[in-house]
Amino acid sequence: MKTANDSRYGKSEGFAGSKAESGAALSDNDLLEATAGGDRAAFAVLMKRYLARMVTLAQRVVFDREQAREIAQEAFLRVWQHAHKWNPDGSATFSTWLSRVVINLSISRRRRFRDQVSLDVIEELPSELADSFDHIAASDKKRVVREALEKLPERQRAAVALYYFDDLPQTQAAEIMEMTPRAFDSLIVRARVNLKKHLSDFGFRRREDLS
């Protein structure tokens, strides 16, 4: 993966003086302001702060680690290119905006590479999903749930990733997906219904079947 030292991110003078030492303590808005001025050191702090999280989020939608890295890289390239447009007084925080970009890129990538997704590279499932999904232990049962998740429509899978995997509040997850909380709740309900249906197709109908 390219880093903030990649030449396509332009030239940088870096933080001056004490800012170089305290960059990690600066707010996202401060770092974006510096990034807008071509400061790659500030941009590197943003990448260090959010890159791993964005790769994980993308992977939970596309089910492929390498594609997830590419998606996160593309999202950060947009940060570099459009930092000057950032409005610190806007309704969304930077982390919410960045997550939205990653989700949208992931959904788009997933649709384009639907037949190339590998089910073997997804990270370990969270310890709690809901209903039948909070007692998963054996690896073969995890594989079944992975396959059930893979069958979900892209937006339902993204909603599950944000709400269950990332454990975001419903309002924030809805904002990332540019939906009302009520619409997001309906999406989650549909996702859970579909997951249960897909699991029942594999012969799992009760919580005990997955424990």
| pTM given for the model | 0.69
DSSP of the chain: ---TTSGGG-------THHHHHGGGS-HHHHHHHHHTT-HHHHHHHHHHHHHHHHHHHHHHH--HHHHHHHHHHHHHHHHHHGGG--TTSSS-HHHHHHHHHHHHHHHHHHHTGGG--SSSPPPPPS--SGGGS---SHHHHHHHHHHHHTS-HHHHHHHIIIIIS---HHHHHHHTT--HHHHHHHHHHHHHHHHHHHHHTT--SGGGG-
Q: Domain 1-120's class?
A: mainly alpha
CATH 1.10.10.10 placement within the chain: 124-211
Instruction: Compare 20 and 159 and report the one with higher pLDDT.
Output: 159
Residue 10 has pLDDT above 80, yes or no: no
Residue 5 has pLDDT above 80, yes or no: no
For the record, the structure tokens of 180 come out as 């009302």
CATH 1.10.1740.10 placement within the chain: 1-120
Please give the pLDDT value at position 151. Answer: 87
pLDDT tens across 34-54, in order?
Answer: 999 999 999 999 999 999 999
CATH code linked to domain 124-211? 1.10.10.10
Please give the pLDDT value at position 143. Answer: 74
Position 123 confidence tier, pLDDT thresholds 50, 70, 90: very low
Instruction: Compare 87 and 114 and report the one with higher pLDDT.
Output: 87
